[in-house]
Chains A and B, each alone.
Chain A
Amino acid sequence: MNLKLSTPKGEENATFSIPYDLNTRTKKVNGHCVITDNEIRIYLDDDITEKYPLDYFDEYICEQLIGCSMLVGRKGDQRKFLCAFTQTYFIRYAELCKILEFYKRTGELFADDDQSEPSCTKCGLPLDSETICPFCAKKSEVFLKLIKRAKPYKWLFALALLCTILTEVIWIIQPRLQRTIIDDFVIPRNKDLHSFLIICGMLVGIILLAWIFEVVNMKASFKMALSIGKDLRQEVFAKVQKLSMSSVSKRTTGGLIRRVSNDAMKLQEFISQNGKELIVRLFSVTMLSILIFVMNPKLALFVLAPIPIVIFFNVKLFNVMSIRYGRVWRMSTRHSTVLHDTLNGIRVVKSYGTEKYAIDQHEKASMNWAKSIRNADIVWLLTMPFSRYILSIGSYLVLLIGGSMVLDQTLTLGQLVQYTTYVAMIYGPLGWLIELPRILADTTVSVSRVFEILDEDTDVADSENALDIDIKGDITFDDVYFGYKVYNPVLKGISCEIKQGEMIGIVGHSGVGKSTMINLILRLYDCTQGRILIDGIDIRNLSQDSLRTQVGVVLQETFLFDGSVYDNIRYAKEDSSFEEIISAAKIANAHDFIVKLPEGYNTRVGDKGYSLSGGERQRIAIARAILHDPKILILDEATASLDTQTERNIQEALSRLIEGRTTIAIAHRLSTLSNADKLIVLDKGRLAEMGPHEELMRNGGVYYKLVMAQRQTTKMKEVID
C-alpha cells in the first residue's frame, strides 16, 4: 500500500507521508502526517505544528468515528489527538498504525509495499480487484457478455436465424408475384390460365415453405431459450453458493432470489426472442431498403428520410428508459424482500398480532412497484405515438407521389402496389426497432444485476493447488488477526494450539470474537493477518470442500430444510444407508421421539422444522453431525436455547458425539464447558488465558471473574424466583 502519497514542502526525510483533510471543527484543511526514521511530524499546510519521537507514544490508534476518523497517540492513560481525516485515508492510516506497532515491538520501520495499487490509465480511478475500470467501462460490454452465453448453442441459433431469414425472404418475394398477377394478368385481362395457375401455385408453395421454416425456427428457438435460461439460473445460483459470507450477507435474500429467477428468465427471453429478432429485423430493413432504392430511389428517400430522426430520438429515449427500469427493478426487489421477510417471520407476525402492519408494508411495497412501472411506461406511451407518426409520414408521401406517377404513367399500378407493400413491410421491422429502447432498457437492468454476481470475485477462493487431505484434527492459530471490517480487528494476535481429540471451550463476553474464531476455522472468512493451520497445513492451501466435509457444526439455531426427518439427517451424507441414519439418530437421542411421530422418519419437518420442538430440532441436527462423522466438531451454543432437562439429554448425546474428535465448543453457560480439556479465554479480541478449568480458577484472572459473575447472577435469579 502506498503510504507516501505526497509530502509537505521542505520535508525531505519522510519515510511515510499521508495527507489529512479535516480539523476537529469539521473544516477542510490541508495537512500531512509524516513519519521519519525517528519522528512523527504533523504538518498544517507546509508548517510543522507538532512533532514527537516515534517511541514517545505507547500506541498509535486509528480511531474510526462515524463520518471521519482520527489518529491518536496513547501514552499511559493519556491520549493525544494527532490529526483527523475523511474515510478516504482511513485504510492508509490504519496500515500506518500497524507499521508503527511493529516498530514499537521490534524497532524496525518496515513497510510491506509489495501490493501494487493498479489504477485506470484513462481516468486514474483505483481498480482494487476489478480488471476493467468501472467508470470507463461501456454499458454495451455487459451485453456482449450476455451474447457470448449463447455460444454453446450457436448451431441452434444459426438454424433459427437461417429459418427466420428465409421466411423473411419469402415474404419479400410474395409482392413480386402479386405484381406479376396485377400487371400481367388482371390489367391486360390475360386469360392464360396455365401460367396464372403456376404463379398461384408458387404463391401457395412459398407460403407453405414459410410455414415449415417458421415451425423449425420456433422449435430451435424454444430449445435454445430453455437451455440458456437453465444455464444462467444454474450459474447464478452456483456463484451465490461460492461467494463468501460477507458477499452474500450484503444482499437481501429476496434480491438474490430475484436475480436467480426473474432476471435470468428475462435474459433467457431476450436472447431467444429479441436477440434473434434484432438480427432478422435489421436484415429485413436492410434488404427492403435496398429493394425500394433499386426500384425507385426518389420514393425511397421519402420513406427512409425520417429514420435517422427516429434513431436519434430512440437513443436518447434508451437512457431515460434504462434509468426508469432500474427503478422498477429496485421497487420489485424491495417488494420481494418485504414478501420474503414477512413470510419468513410469519410466526413473529402472528404472535405479535401485527398482520395489519405486515399487510400495510406489503401494500406499500406493491404500490411503489406498480407506480415505478407506471412511471417507466408513461414516458414510453407518451413518446411512442410521436415516433410512429414521424416514421409513417414516409408512407403518405409515397402514396401521394407514387399515385401521381401512376396517373402520369411513369409507374405502373402493379409497381405501386409492390412498392407500397414493401413500404408497409419495412414499417413492420422498423416499428419493432422503435420498441427496442424499452426492451433493451428493461433487459440491461437484469443483465447488469446478473453479471454483477457472475463477475464478482470470491474473496475466499481455493488456491491453485488446493490440497484434499484426510484431516486428523490438530489446529493451530498463529498470530491471527481478523476483522469483519478489515481495519477494525475483532481478533488480535491469537496464537494457540489445539491437539487432535481435545475438547476445547472458548469463553468470553459477548462480541469478544468467539464465533469469529469458529468462522475462521470453517474458512467462511480468511484471516487478515497470521494463519490458521490444520495438521500443519495453512487452511488457505486446503480445498474448501475437503475442509468443510471434515468439519461438523452444531449451532444454537438449527436450520432444517423443508423435507422429512430422514432427508434432514441424510443431508450430511447423501449415500448413507437407512441403518446408518437410525444409528446416528439413536446416538443423538433422537430415535425415540422420531418413533413416536405418526409417520416416523418420513414425517415432514415443515418450513424450517417448525413442526418440531427446539430440543427435537437440535437432536436432528446432532444426528446429522454424527452421520457427517467429522474429524473436527464445532458446537456453537448448541444447547443454549434449551431447558435444563432437554439440555441434559442433548449433553448426553453430545458427549457420545465428541468422543475421539477435536471439539471446539462455545457456551455462554460456563458450567457446560467444565469437562473441557482446555479453555480459551478471550478478552477484547485477545487471548487472555488458556488452560484447564481448575488452573484458570486458581489463576484468578479473566475466567475466574467470568465464573464468579455468572454464579452471582444465578444466585440473584434464584433469590428472585
Chain B
Amino acid sequence: MNINLENEIFELDELHILDPEKLNFSLEESGFLTLDDGEQVYSKVNLTRLLPFKTKTEYISVSYEDDEEQFHEIGVIRDINELQGEQFEIADNFLKFKYYMPEITRIYSIRDNMRGYIFVKVDTNAGKKTLCIRDWYSNFKLISPTELYVVDADGNKYTCPDIRSLDKKSKNNIDMFV
C-alpha cells in the first residue's frame, strides 16, 4: 500500500516530456493555442520558454489554465524543431509573439546623463529608436558572453543575440556599458 502511494506521488511530480509527433496545435481566437495530444483537447494553452536566455526552441513548457484559473502543466517539449511542419510554425509564431523582442542591429550612440538613465540610439529589425533605459546597470546587460539584453523604461525588451556581429562603432559604444 505504502509503495503504491509513493509511486503515485512520484508519477505526479515526474517531468513529462511530450512526444512531438502526437501534438497538434491550432491558434485560438483568444490569441492562445488549442492542443490536441491525441488523448485530450486543451484550450487556452500557453507555451513558455524554460530557458529563455539560453535557447529559443528547446525546453518549452506546455500549460493551460482551468476554469478556476489554476495552472496545469501538460508537459515539456524538448525541442519544437521536432514538431511537424505547420505545427512548428504555429508553436514558433506563438513563442515569437509572446517573447516579442526586436533585435538590435546597430548602436549609434549612448548618452549617459549621470542620473541613472541612459539613452541609446539604436537601429532594430523593427525600426530606429532611442531607448530610454532606467536603472541601466540592471536593464542593459550581457546575459551571455555575446548576447545583449535591454529593457527600456516602458518594459519593452530588446536583444542583440551576438554582439560580435555588430559593426565596430556599435561595439565600441556598448563596450563601456556592459
Contact = CB atoms under 8 A, between A and B. Distances in A.
A86 interface: yes
Nearest to B101: A67
Given A87-B154, A719-B5, A78 B113 contact: no
Interface in B108-141: 111-117, 119, 126-127, 132, 135, 137-138
Interface string B1-45: 110011001000000000000000001111110000000000010
B115 A448 contact: yes
Given A25-B93, A67-B157, A448-B115, 16 more contacts: A24-B27, A25-B97, A65-B98, A68-B97, A72-B30, A80-B29, A81-B30, A81-B31, A87-B155, A88-B156, A323-B177, A444-B114, A447-B114, A684-B68, A684-B69, A719-B1
Contacts of A81: 29-31
Interface stretch (A104-112, A131-139, A519-527, A605-613): A131-139
B95 to A, nearest CB: 9
A137 B52 CA distance: 36
Contacts of B101: 67
A323 B119 CA distance: 14
B2 A720 contact: yes
B115 A26 contact: no
B66 to A, nearest CB: 11
Nearest to B43: A77
Contacts of A63: 31
A84 B29 CA distance: 13
A371 to B, nearest CB: 12
Interface of B: 1-2, 5-6, 9, 27-32, 44, 52, 67-69, 93, 96-101, 111-117, 119, 126-127, 132, 135, 137-138, 154-157, 176-177
Contacts of B28: 79
Contacts of A70: 31
B176 A28 contact: no
Contact of A139 (B1, B114, B116, B117): B114
A324 B112 CA distance: 12
B30 A80 contact: yes
A250 B135 contact: yes
Given A135-B119, A135-B132, A66 B177 contact: no
Interface in A446-469: 447-448, 451-452, 455
A79 B30 contact: yes
Given A67-B100, A79-B44, A28 B127 contact: yes
Contacts of B113: 134-135, 137-139
Contact of A77 (B67, B97, B138, B154): B67
A90 B126 contact: no
Contacts of A142: 114-115
Interface in A118-138: 125, 132, 134-135, 137-138
Interface string A226-242: 00000000000000000
A198 interface: no
A194 to B, nearest CB: 62
A326 B97 contact: no
Given A24-B93, A63-B31, A323 B154 contact: no
A326 B176 contact: yes
